[in-house]
Amino acid sequence: MESRAMRDYIRDFSLDSCAHGNQGYSRVLLQLFGFTGHGKSSFINSCKYVVDDEPYVAHAKVAEYKKKPETMIRNAYKLTETITLVDNRGFRIMDKYEFGEIYLQLGNFLPLGREVKWQENFGDMLKLLESERCDQSSDFIVPVLVYSADYPVTDKNYMKDIIMAARDITGVFPTVVFTHELSEHQPKVWESFRQMGVKNSFSLENYTAEDTKKTRGKHETILKCLQEIIKDVEFRMLEERDAIGERIDRKKLLLEYAHKREMEKQKEEMEKPLGKIKKQETEKQEKQEKGDCILL
């Protein structure tokens, strides 16, 4: 009965029924992001399986575990009339350019249904943002970080930077979904994220094409995760909001980020020749001093 009640709550949720109505939002966009191969696509399929209450279907294409990722296109999957899941392209390494691309996806500045290509420089990111004209201010964005418990966190600072950037861009602190909860590393991974300030997190095992047997544990964890996300949306909708203004602020923040990174890159490029010249001068001086020592 508890599972059915949670499922009905998720299915029936409408932005129109919030305290101040929809305030210009037409849907809730759950932005799934994280490393490639950590289970974003599988989580989408699991959510659809649990909420639709129909035979399992692999809506989002899933690569073999720990193999080449399948998601290159930023695809959207409708969960209910109000909630849409977005399978963003995952990142491979903690790279500044990939960070920029992740932020563009989270900010909803890249079109759905198209291939995501990593930017080669921040100048391209600036151009993309400046020329972007698509109005997607009606999307209430909720970031959801999917992280496999099979992978211990090796660099907490970078991961925390991503989490905090996601919060700044969307205005919502990310919910974290730990996949492969039976992994021996799960306790350490959970503790690492707790130290980063993550409070809203869920550990689970995804349903797969090879394992569709329904269990109360899996169902209730997935439903609880979705329910808590919706409750947070309802809480935030208690405030009077400006959907268009928020999108403008997101764009301004990303433009500032891209401009700052481009300036840093140009500075690094300018310092390279200077560093080379300085190195050559140092080597020349060392040779001269060595020659003087020989003469003595």
pLDDT along the chain (296 residues), means of 10: 91 96 95 91 96 93 58 85 92 64 80 63 60 74 96 89 90 95 96 94 95 94 97 96 89 79 71 62 64 52
Closest CA to 40 of 61, 68, 67: 61
Q: Two tokens at 248?
A: 């403008």
Q: What is the pLDDT of residue 122?
A: 58
> How high is the pLDDT of residue 91?
75
Instruction: Output the pLDDT for position 260.
Output: 75
The model carries a pTM of 0.81
Q: Which pLDDT score, from 0 to 100, does residue 29 have?
A: 95
CA distance 200 to 2: 20
Say which CATH topology domain 2-258 has: Rossmann fold (3.40.50)
Q: What is the pLDDT of residue 288?
A: 65
Residue 248: count of CB within 10 angstroms of its CB: 11
Q: List C-alpha distances in Å: 218 to 13, 32, 54, 145, 203.
A: 22, 19, 15, 18, 10
Q: What is the pLDDT of residue 97?
A: 60
For position 172, what pLDDT does the model report?
Answer: 94
